[in-house]
């Protein structure tokens, strides 16, 4: 299941959680974000219960976008224990996203 992460619920989702977190920073107007969304949705189903998958709309969550220095979309962050362990910027395949996820599991 993919969770919507916002400026308001970020800390609750990230710090009150023992599982790794993958955050997809995206925008409605971003073409490459749409192709990454399909891969993220599959990963969310396959790793349900093992990892938290979240999406941050950069247009409505400026604090988070700024906090993580996100300038290009899509940007995928991999967090463990609240710390960024990996990052991917730009369009990519499910295989690449999954390889990075496996490094933090």
Catalytic annotation, residues: 30, 33
User: Cα–Cα distances in Å, from 50 out to 35, 43, 59?
Assistant: 23, 11, 29
How far is it, in rounded angstroms, from Cα 16 to Cα 91?
30
């Amino acid at each position: 299941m993919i969770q919507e992460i916002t400026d308001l619920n970020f800390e609750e989702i990230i710090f009150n959680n023992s599982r790794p977190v993958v955050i997809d920073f995206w925008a409605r107007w971003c073409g490459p974000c749409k192709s990454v969304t399909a891969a993220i949705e599959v990963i969310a189903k396959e790793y349900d219960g093992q990892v938290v998958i979240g999406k941050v709309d950069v247009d409505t969550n400026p604090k988070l976008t700024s906090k993580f220095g996100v300038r290009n979309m899509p940007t995928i962050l991999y967090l463990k224990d609240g710390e960024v362990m990996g990052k991917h910027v730009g369009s990519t395949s499910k295989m690449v996203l999954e390889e990075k996820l496996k490094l933090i599991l």
